[in-house]
A and B are shown apart, each in its own frame.
Chain A
Amino acid sequence: MSWNFETEHFFIRLPVSDEDGAALFKLLSKNSTVAHIPRLPMTVEAQALDELRRIAMRFETREAAFWLIERKSDGDVIARIGIQYINWMMLNAQMQWELSDRCGLEELQEVLPVIVNYLSQDLHLHRLEMRLRAGSDGQSKLLTALGFSCEGTLPSQQEFEGEDIDLDVYSLLTGELKA
């Protein structure tokens, strides 16, 4: 069972711990890429190496899987898309993405069906959920265009930089993806 895929323009692949540090750091060191989670951007490359090791361990136990989206033409990693908090009893999981400014709706419409089909057909997950910092308009527009539904806002889910953060909840059920 392979967890690596490809589309016409992209490789959708699990990261390689000792090779992808620089690419992941480049992606996750920009505030615009992580502000919707919310999370602080990375400041040193060692953080990316730590993250790669952590993600590898979480994948080994099937707690999470994060894919790098690499453009075939130039090898540029334009996004990372993953699932975590997989609940095998309830058949649901939380999705998270970090998108560079080179990854918009068109790119997502090419790569997301492959990931979502794998999750529903092979892993039999029924519900995918994404939580966004309330007010993340750009991200919410992308989710809505892809077929996600907004289900409400969970208050005070975490404290970030001294502020209580509400999270909007979006979900996608089997068969709802628009691509």
Chain B
Amino acid sequence: MKFTPELEIPGGCIKPLQYDDIDGLFELYKHPEIPGQRPLEDKEQLNRMIDYSVQMAATQRGMMWAIETDGQIKGMVSGFDWQPSNLRIVMRVDGLPALTVEERAGALKAAIGFLSKKYHVRNFAYQWIEGQSDDIKVALSECGFTLAARLRDGWRTGNTEFSDVEQYHWVSSDDKPVPRKLGDDDELGQNLNANKRGES
């Protein structure tokens, strides 16, 4: 079953996490952008993360893509803390130093576009943590996000050390979906493979 699609972005694509990409993902996790996050040491843990990424998407708890440009995995774009009933989700991009602001914004826009169109998610949040690059804020601004709140000491970076979190939001102005009765259309759940006409 496939729940996470491959989507084009300028210069490359965002694509589901795959076991073939573990080396690229391991490189990414060796260079965490988030303050206080330790570099990953055991590559095997990524196998489990890839399993989780499928389970998360299948149960609408989150969705994870690898960002690939110039034939190289340069980052990941993810949605987590997905609240389907409230049509909202928190987004996150993790990137290697080689990931440009344009690529970051392109990946974010592609993921948001898909979640918005396919799942009618309307409210996208992004948490920038004090200590992260200001370039991330440039990418957020390009995607239309605005600062909503600064959460004091919202992120723990050590035993007794904390960083502030700036929470940004972008809320779609599209109309909300109108609830329908089950069986009123031929939408066969959210499995992308099953949704292709003529396939089951």
Contact = CB atoms under 8 A, between A and B. Distances in A.
Interface of A: 89-92, 126-127, 129, 149, 151-159, 169, 171, 173
Interface-central residue, A89, A158, A173, by most chain B CB under 10 Å: A158
A50 to B, nearest CB: 19
29 contacts: A89-B156, A90-B154, A90-B155, A126-B153, A126-B156, A127-B151, A127-B153, A127-B154, A127-B162, A129-B151, A151-B149, A151-B150, A151-B152, A152-B148, A154-B125, A154-B148, A154-B149, A154-B167, A154-B169, A155-B123, A156-B171, A157-B88, A157-B123, A159-B86, A169-B151, A171-B151, A171-B152, A173-B152, A173-B153
B156 A90 contact: yes
Given A126-B162, A158-B86, A159-B86, A153 B149 contact: yes
Interface-central residue, B147, B149, B155, B162, by most chain A CB under 10 Å: B149
Nearest to A150: B149
B153 A152 contact: no
B122 interface: yes
A135 B122 CA distance: 23
A173 B169 CA distance: 24
B86 A157 contact: yes
A144 to B, nearest CB: 15
Nearest to B156: A90
A91 B156 CA distance: 8
Interface string B106-141: 000000000000000011010000000000000000
A126 B155 CA distance: 11
A169 B149 contact: yes
Interface of B: 86, 88, 122-123, 125, 147-156, 162, 167, 169, 171
Given A127-B152, A151-B150, 19 more contacts: A90-B156, A126-B153, A126-B156, A126-B162, A127-B154, A149-B152, A151-B149, A151-B151, A151-B152, A152-B148, A153-B148, A154-B167, A156-B88, A156-B169, A156-B171, A157-B123, A159-B86, A169-B149, A173-B152
B158 to A, nearest CB: 11
A163 B11 CA distance: 41
A146 to B, nearest CB: 16
Contacts of A149: 152
Contact of B148 (A89, A126, A129, A155): A155
A97 B122 CA distance: 29
Contacts of A154: 125, 148-149, 167, 169
- 8 smallest beta-carbon distances between A and B, as pairs: A152-B149, A151-B149, A90-B156, A156-B123, A169-B149, A158-B86, A156-B171, A127-B153
A74 to B, nearest CB: 39
Contacts of B171: 155-156
Nearest to B122: A156
Contacts of B169: 154-156
B169 to A, nearest CB: 5
Contacts of A173: 152-153
A151 B167 CA distance: 10
